[in-house]
A and B are shown apart, each in its own frame.
Chain A
């Protein structure tokens, strides 16, 4: 977890290499066998030209970064909004990065407002989004609300 929660603080990035096996495992775990993810011959006929990873798989990596930074505060008081900009494909290496944009107080509760993105090895943006985490009482002042 972050030792200090300050405006401008960058979050520890999460880096993942995905393969078709990763995608197949996720399909099996989630029950989402949409052929765009798992059927290479079907996917080759679509505008994507091949299989793509599940968006929710990429979001799992975002959630991992947020959990590493904020621990249980994220799991029980997190919020995110994300747009999928481009597909992640087998053999992509994805980097999820983020930072704390501000610490806001709303009705006596502190929230860390963050932005994040995921990009591939070609520096193409896969997803962009915003997240907010409700901080435990007193954490906003104690840990760097500016």
Chain B
């Protein structure tokens, strides 16, 4: 995990977050399955992998409280068994301003321990207006 965070104002398109690795251990996946009210089948749900990838990215990013998810794209390429280790990579695709709205588009890629891509995605986040933070 990175030990330094970057704020929205410092981000530029193309910025790459430090990559992060996760072991998708049985306790970690079990906690996720309980949270989403789902059952164990030996495979890691792809939305769990997406959540961990976003969490890895968020560890290096300081967004204002109240930032929300506007849209999400995801594509899954491989089954991932519980116990696998994944590497998450993320970069800033776009920074957009529409009126008072500030948006951030992030691209995510996740690889397994054999360096094969298991998932990719694009996340759009809306940041709260300056007034909302005042």
Is residue A75 contacting chain B, with contact meaning CB distance below 8 A?
Answer: yes
Residue A138 CB within 8 A of the other chain = no
Residues of A in contact (CB 8 Å), total: 39
Is the pair B74, A79 in contact by a Cβ cutoff of 8 Å?
Answer: yes
Q: Tell me whether A16 and B51 are in contact (CB under 8 A).
A: no
Verify B66–A30 contact, CB threshold 8 A.
no
A76/B77 in contact, CB under 8 A: yes
Interface residues on B, range: 35 or more
Q: Is B5 interfacial (CB 8 A cutoff)?
A: no
Contact A35 B58 (CB under 8 A): no
Contact B74 A80 (CB under 8 A): yes
Q: Are B72 and A59 in contact (CB under 8 A)?
A: yes
A31 interface residue per 8 A CB criterion: yes
- The one of B31, B32, B65, B69 in contact with A55, judged by C-beta atoms closer than 8 angstroms, is B69
B34 within 8 Å of A by Cβ? yes
- The residues of A with any CB-CB pair to B shorter than 8 Å are 16, 22, 25-26, 28-32, 34-36, 42, 46-47, 52, 54-57, 59-61, 63-64, 67, 72, 74-84, 87
